[in-house]
Amino acid sequence: MPPSEHELRLRERLGRLRNMPLLGGAKLSGDLQRFQKQLDRLQQEATDEEIWRSVQLARHDNRPYTLDYVERLLDDWFELHGDRGNADDGAMVVGLGKLDGRTVALVGQQKGRDIKERAERRFGMPNPEGYRKAMRVMQLADRHGFPVLSLVDTPGAYPGVAAEQHGQGGTIASSQAVMARLNVPTVACVIGEGGSGGAIAIALADRVLMQENAIYSVISPEGCAMILWRDAGEAKKAAAAFKPDAAHCLELGVIDGIVPEPPGGAHTDPDAAARLLKESVAEALEELVDLPGDELRRRRRAKFRSLGVFA
Amino acid sequence: MAEINVSVETGDEPPPPPKHPNTCPACHSHYRDDELAAALWVCAHCGYHFAMRARARIDHLADDGSFLEEATELHSEDPLGFFDLRPYTERLAEAELSTGLADAMVIGQATLDGRGCELAVMDFSFMGGSMGSVVGEKFSRACDSAAERGVPLISVTSSGGARMQEGILALMQLPKTVCAVEDLRDAGQPLLSVMAHPTTGGVLASFSTLGDVLLAEPGALMSFAGPRVVQQITKEKLPEDFGLAEQNLRFGNIDAIVPRPELREKLSTLLRLFDAPV
């Protein structure tokens, strides 16, 4: 099989870094390591077992959630609430904070830790009110020139009667449309489950990252197994077939980079996981902040419009 | 944690078929092929809307001889080497043979009552109208064609959602088509969206609901999650008209429900209102 475009791009960047005189020191060798690691991942096809391990780690009970990263990444965190129409959805967290001294707007799904919080936050599955809350804050960011950081962690948008009545599908479409129109830099990172429409609603970003053990998929493995195998128990087979792991997403051009996790997964050392996440996000933002808004928008749309494989 | 099963895909299997495809599932009236075609696949007795194939829809909406199909060369690939009970490539070949279509959407230039427009019409018979890379690309090109020619885009959707067999790339057709609509908007042209039964999952959660005007056919299911999924997860009792066009109209999610025999006339009016070129 010929090397994919992404492999070539990584190789090219890797080669450039290797040949550079060591001026940048630590930063440079960090990049080198990261690219080498991504390249290694691309070269060795993830096995079915590894894919399933990602599914399990992405859903691990102790995996850091959005607010765990917020407290480690952002200073002066100020949470904002409500969609200004109907409700304040606990499954979606939004607010403002300082990332390395720069004000950013944060949006992200939030799962709960204990039974009570899980119910309140609906396992991180937002209602349309949650997406409207996110849109409101993204538009606020647009007005004030704040970059948007989006942390994606949801099994999917909430499939409820009221959610449908209040326009779940249309709201997910509108949220993407808002992101396609923003004039500020946007970085999204899938930190756990990137579940379907509920995830892409806040992931139409200039740079899309995925943590090493996160998953990003069109359907849950159980849902896919139910429909195609008529048996939710075949989830492992389904996951192996549709490949929701970070390495495959990178290979398909769906994401721009993989954020490394501490050995054993993000839950083993949330502080280290947050440090690694912050590095990648800061690096991505650095590449974007000097671009004019219309140029960001043009490139963002061109990127998403190029996705797909056909003959 | 309970297993959670949420997706933009509500399955590519149509609901259990009636005894005969020409038998109305609502009132059991039975029709000959030519009777159904003459009635635009609407039950003369109870008004039930049968599925309408993409080519028939285009023949009905476009002025005679005005339709010029575009992007006919596009075919699906199998980026994941997807294999469930059968390989994806086999399902594709079978769908192509049985429908005579290259994929689940047909696009092209047309006039309607003499006014220029672009049509993007889906066909549920092709793998449940599921949206994969080809549908995303065709819709995207339809937006560009409309923008270049300065005409409105009319989309007619009928889809179970994203095409699972293309994995994450199928999900990426949501942002892709959304970006295409935003580019169309920047070019100053409207999207007139007609949602036929069913318009669910990923197609509902992307371009179809971004229309400047949203129309639906009577009885069309328009829900993000399928009724079965909602029931399984929430254990809620579903209202009788759950997710249907009628409920969506009541809750303010769409502009109008238009019975199929009136659709052409309504679209013609809208093309006049949006000053589509003659």
What residues does B83 pair with on adjacent strands?
B87
Instruction: Answer whether A298 touches B (CB < 8 Å).
Output: no
From first to last of its 278 residues, chain B has per-residue pLDDT tens of 445 555 555 555 666 655 789 999 999 999 999 999 999 999 999 999 999 999 999 999 999 999 999 999 999 999 998 988 889 999 999 999 999 999 999 999 999 999 999 999 999 999 999 999 999 999 999 999 999 999 999 999 999 999 999 999 999 999 999 999 999 999 999 999 999 999 999 999 999 999 999 999 999 999 999 998 898 888 888 999 999 999 999 999 999 999 999 999 999 999 999 999 99
Is residue A65 domain-shared with residue A148, that is, in the same domain? yes
Number of domains in chain B: 1
Interface test with A, best of B8, B127, B229, B236 (most A CBs within 10 A): B8
Angle between helices A168-181 and A293-305 in degrees, nearest 10: 130
Domain boundary among A44, A62, A78: A44
Tally Cβ neighbours within 10 Å of residue A1: 4
- Reading the block at residue A1, the tokens are 């099989």
- A35, A17 Cβ separation under 8 angstroms: yes
Is residue A29 domain-shared with residue A109, that is, in the same domain? no
Domain that holds residue A211: 46-305
Is residue A40 domain-shared with residue A56, that is, in the same domain? no
Is residue A72 domain-shared with residue A103, that is, in the same domain? yes
In a domain, A311, yes or no: no
b/e code B7-24 from CB counts within 10 Å (16+ = b): bbbbbbeeeeeeeeeebb
Q: Is A29 helix (H, G, I), strand (E, B) or coil?
A: helix
Is residue A170 domain-shared with residue A142, that is, in the same domain? yes
Cα dihedral B272, B275, B276, B278 in deg (nearest 10): 80
A15: pLDDT confidence band, cut at 50, 70 and 90?
A: low
Chain A residue with CA closest to B141: the answer is A305
ipTM above 0.90, yes or no: yes
Q: Which CATH number goes with the domain that contains B146?
A: 3.90.226.10
Q: E strand or H helix at A274, and its extent? A: helix A270-288
- Reading the block at residue A311, the tokens are 């003959």
Instruction: Answer whether A157 touches B (CB < 8 Å).
Output: yes
Work out the average pLDDT over A280-299.
97
Instruction: Answer whether B186 touches A (CB < 8 Å).
Output: no
Q: Which residues of B touch A109 (CB under 8 A)?
A: none
Instruction: Answer whether A116 touches B (CB < 8 Å).
Output: no
Q: β-pairing, B153-159 with B191-199? A: parallel
| Secondary structure in 3-state letters for B70-103 | ECCCCCECCCCCCECCCEHHHHHHHHHHHHCCCC
Domain that holds residue B120: 52-273
Is residue A124 domain-shared with residue A241, that is, in the same domain? yes
What are A97-134's pLDDT values in tens digits? 999 999 999 999 999 999 999 999 999 999 999 999 99
Tally Cβ neighbours within 10 Å of residue B232: 15
Q: Which CATH number goes with the domain that contains A84?
A: 3.90.226.10
